[in-house]
Amino acid sequence: MGASVAFWVLASIAVLAALAVVLVRDVFRAALSLILCFLMVAGLYITLSADFLAAVQILVYVGAISVLIILAIMLTREVQRGSPSNRFRLPAFFVAVLFFAGIGYAMLNTPWQISSTPPLEPTTPAIAGLLFGEGGFILPVEIAPLLLLAAIIGAIVLVREK
């Protein structure tokens, strides 16, 4: 019962945060709403006993992607102006409705197999052992932050004042 209530609370907050991302006019506040949405999705993963996905969600999306989005907003001039013409509002609405209809059709016509028992053991150590154990992918994981740092430094150098 408690997990079900937590799931619905987190899902409701995630949907409201996602709506705020789309509807808020200030780009920085929209990015903060996106961070809240990412955190709520991580909470949803925890309620579904997917602890590794929750950790990856927090590290990759909340940590890296959100920081890059905030950095891009901070480095952009005239953030408050946005798109004054709004000429793509109607086509974007139709694309969103078609996408929502397709997702709804797929959800309603898929025979979902739901397990009532959580996993017997935590999944994080097993997945971490596969990724970082003998012959794993530790080198790409160590190189990726260096590439992100180089991209951030390059962006700062490109947009700094002369």
Please give the model's pTM, rounded to 2 decimal places.
0.66
Domains contained in the chain, number: 1
CATH code at 13?
Answer: 1.20.120.1200
78-115 tens-digit pLDDT: 655 555 666 777 888 899 999 999 999 999 999 988 87
20 is a domain residue: yes
53 is a domain residue: yes
Taken in order 57, 63, 65, 70, is the CA torsion positive or negative? positive
45-56 tens-digit pLDDT: 999 888 888 988
Structure confidence at residue 49 (pLDDT): 83
114 is a domain residue: no
> Average pLDDT, stretch 31-56?
91
Which residue range forms the structural domain that includes residue 140?
A: 2-78+123-159
Instruction: Quickly state the pLDDT bin for 137 (edges 50, 70, 90).
Output: confident
- 26 vs 107, residue with greater confidence: 107
24 is a domain residue: yes
Query: Considering the chain, what percentage of its residues have pLDDT values greater than 90?
Result: 31
